[in-house]
Homo-oligomer: A and B are copies of this chain.
Amino acid sequence: MGYLEEHQSRFLNEFLSLLRIPSISTDPAAAGAVRQAAEWVAERLRQAGMDGVRILETGGHPAVYGQWCGAPGRPTVLIYGHFDVQPVDPLHLWTHPPFEPAVVDGRVYARGATDMKGNLLLPIVACEALLRTEGQLPVNVKFLLEGEEEIGSPNLGPLLEAHRDLLACDLMVSADGGCGTPERPEVWLGPRGLVGLQINVRTADRDLHSGNGGLAPNAIHALVRLLDSMRDSAGRITVEGFYDSVRPLSDTDRAEIAAAAYPPAEYQSQTGVRGFFGEPEFTPFERASARPTLEVNGIWGGFTGEGIKTVIPCEAHAKITCRLVPDQRPAEIREKLLAHIRRHAPAYAEVTVDSLPGEADPYLIPADHPAQQALVRVLTAVTGRRPAVTRGFGTVPVMGMVKRILGVETISLGTGQADERAHAPDEFYRLDSFARGQRAYVLLLHELGEALPRTDDIK
């Protein structure tokens, strides 16, 4: 691996250059910067030896494509990442300006450092190293790097549909996902899905004086009852059929989750949670990774100012989202929620429902998939420890989308760590993670060349 070591200071400088581009995808004023980042990435792919590099226009920010398909008959791997970043507010909490990266004690501080401009460079640098030292890659590689991940990838589905042939592959590797720490490495089977609704309750044409209490119905009472009807006292979700399509956990699954779990007391001291609550048949980590959830994310109605206002509110609202697990589907769960709401809405209340954006399929790669096994070997090699097998608590829409549209599985290799303040002030990335991640990608491409079945050239 002499090449990587030899060029590490150039890679670092390139990383810092990319961090200086304020590619905040949610900020319309930063659209030029997002495009600048796309062009920077495209140029970097060309320098690494990719062919056919081009900007893919979307309805929003552009994506970048590049490929090396010089190994006919070998498998093709699609590498996914994004070059957009989160906003930087509150700015005054940053020790260094967020787009003037500061290298301090082996860490790079900047917006996008850990999420995910550092991780984005890992596979690019790895390909460059392999091409310069070996003259070829062990697999065919395609890059799809987008500029809208931090706003929920609204144009990614249509992009995959539109470029189905161009993006055809045998496997996706997402660089946007962590692998734990060197001390406690993890491989990820996949994220949960998501479906969300806003519930709107109306009980009268206008707010009424609370002297009418007993005569006038109260929209908050109706909403509270409806929401409370969705869970039992133990925290089980009582929406009819909610769990019907949940794939049961095997003993192996449960053992894996237990092995990956850390002490709940540790979680408690990090977050200040006052206690744990939920389906008693499952452990907290099983509930958070392998069980679906129904959470009220927000609620409002009536008088919320200082002091007292004796009003009977005529309307009240709540937003709920469900995290989904295989084999639940957003449309299926949306229907079940709607049926429950229809059945449980009090007769004195008019209830309407709006869909929320962000629906996503859950995704789970089979733990015995050869690519997943390859990833386990790579992480074992670079950390010296066998990784725990985990399921993501959150949602990453791209994986379910790729499975549905391109028909392939996804593994995740990234070296960001949970304490690196992604989305928050003073975001940072460890430089040793940067180096280790490059080595991991070199190993991974080799492993995949061996592990994946050879195919006819799909170009």
Contacts and interface: CB of A to CB of B under 8 A. Distances in A.
Contact of A308 (B205, B314, B356, B394): B356
A95 interface: no
B228 A277 contact: no
A356 to B, nearest CB: 4
A238 interface: no
Interface stretch (A80-88, A121-129, A328-336, A346-354): A346-354
B302 A319 contact: yes
A49 interface: no
A227 B282 CA distance: 27
Q: How large is the interface on A (under 10, 10 to 19, 20 to 34, 35 or more residues)?
A: 35 or more
A284 B216 CA distance: 8
**Number of copies of chain A assembled together:** 2
A162 to B, nearest CB: 26
B214 A293 contact: yes
Contacts of A210: 293, 295, 297, 321, 323, 394
Contact of A395 (B211, B311, B314): B211
Contacts of A231: 221
A213 B358 CA distance: 17
Contacts of A298: 220, 301-305, 309, 311, 313
Interface of A: 192, 194, 196, 202-206, 208-218, 220-221, 223-225, 227-228, 231, 233, 264, 267, 271-279, 282, 284-289, 291, 293-305, 307-314, 316-319, 321, 323, 346-350, 356-358, 392-395
- Give me the 4 closest cross-chain CB pairs, A-B, nearest first: A205-B272, A214-B287, A275-B348, A211-B394
